[in-house]
Amino acid sequence: MNRPDIVIVGGGIAGASLGAALAETARVLILEMEDSAGYHATGRSVAFWEETYGGPVVQPLTTASGKLLESPDPDFFDRSFLSPRRTLHIGRAGDEGLRDALLADFAGAVELQPVAPASLVPGLRPEWTLGVLEPSCRDIDVGALHQAYLRRFRELGGEIRLGAKLEHAERQGDGWRIETRDGMIQCGLLVNAAGAWADDVARACGVAPVGITPYRRTVVQLRLEDMPAGELPLVMDMQGSFYFKPEGQGRIWLTPHDEVASPACDAAPEELAIAQAIDRFQAAVDWRIAAVERKWAGLRSFAPDRVPVYGFEPEIEGFFWFAGQGGFGIQTAPAAALLGASLLTGKAVPEAIASLDVAAYAPGRFR
């Protein structure tokens, strides 16, 4: 590729989706520091789309993305990436305030139904008396979605370079001079879609960080002796101390909902977090555990206000933030990519995301 118009740093779901949205009208190069794209947060997702996840400011991005994931543009994709799931939020005596806040925060935006939780989860322990059903929750085929974006990106002429870490970049003239492990690249615009490494990339470009912090999240796959048959929901504790999702016959994915600040790294699970997850799971249901089959950890990166950062850096020309997606970067990817592409090119916001409050995501809020 000759001098690209845009270089995107990061080949996970953020960079891949934005690249696919841009490549039809611009020369775009993705730089991915790992030997495979999506190695970190994208490849370690628990893989669900849930409208209330991330809070009321994130919900419009999720809702808009749901329509795009369910009925994708046939010129882009030939399939839906969602399948039925549902979420059951559960609580005990004393959690009434959390239940009421959940219902109030999303009133008129997301369908939520107070329910008796034991009717939906056989074996739920009797102290879990409060329940709110979120029928719209879906599973996401994350791997297929990520690969579909990368495939579309390449078909439109985009290029991805693996093992190409940005070492340093500086503004020169009307663009950027980027130094990587493999040599120097010049481009017009530089997009920071580096996930947990977003602030590190900003520093390497002479841009002040916005305070994006990575947090470790642990997940364990359990095989159960007597898991109830039938379609079970994703189950979330209203206090945020665990959630679990059925994943195949007799298995669940479980997390203690841990958020441990971490340097940007190849995250690994810690035994204490695994023990906490199992303890909280056994306090919720009477299902017997046969084996711990897998365990992993990923980094979820948040801005200080826990809202994504999308937009041009106000203090240095040509540097674009596309980061801080927390644990909701996959479920918001289609809408976020359309928003990012609109902001980068100056084109009108597409109808699919016309209702978004663009200012809520702007990096200028930290300046």
- Domain of 250, CATH number, reads 3.30.9.10
* Contact (CB, 8 A) for 9 and 326: no
Residue type, 26: A
User: Counting beta carbons within 10 angstroms of the beta carbon of residue 159, is it exposed (0 to 12), middle (13 to 18) or buried (19 or more)?
Assistant: middle
> Among 268, 302, 336, where does a domain finish?
302
Picking from 212, 247, 271, 234, the residue whose alpha carbon sits closest to that of residue 41 is 212
Sign for the CA dihedral angle at 45, 49, 52, 56 comes to: positive
Same-domain pairing of 199 and 314: yes
Phi, psi of 118 (to 5 degrees): -65, -20
Can you give the pLDDT at residue 263?
96
Could you list the residue range(s) of the whole structural domain that residue 266 is in?
Answer: 87-135+213-302
Can you give the pLDDT at residue 75?
64
d(CA 283, CA 288): 12
The strand pair at 87-91 and 130-134 is best described as: antiparallel
* Contact (CB, 8 A) for 189 and 6: yes
The total domain count for the chain is 2
| Residue owning tokens 């479920």 | 331
Same-domain pairing of 242 and 127: yes
* Contact (CB, 8 A) for 128 and 118: yes
Same-domain pairing of 156 and 257: no
80 located within any domain: no
Q: What is the pTM of this model?
A: 0.95
Mark the ranges of the chain whose per-residue pLDDT is less than 50: none
> Among 282, 302, 322, where does a domain finish?
302
176 located within any domain: yes
Can you give the pLDDT at residue 172?
94
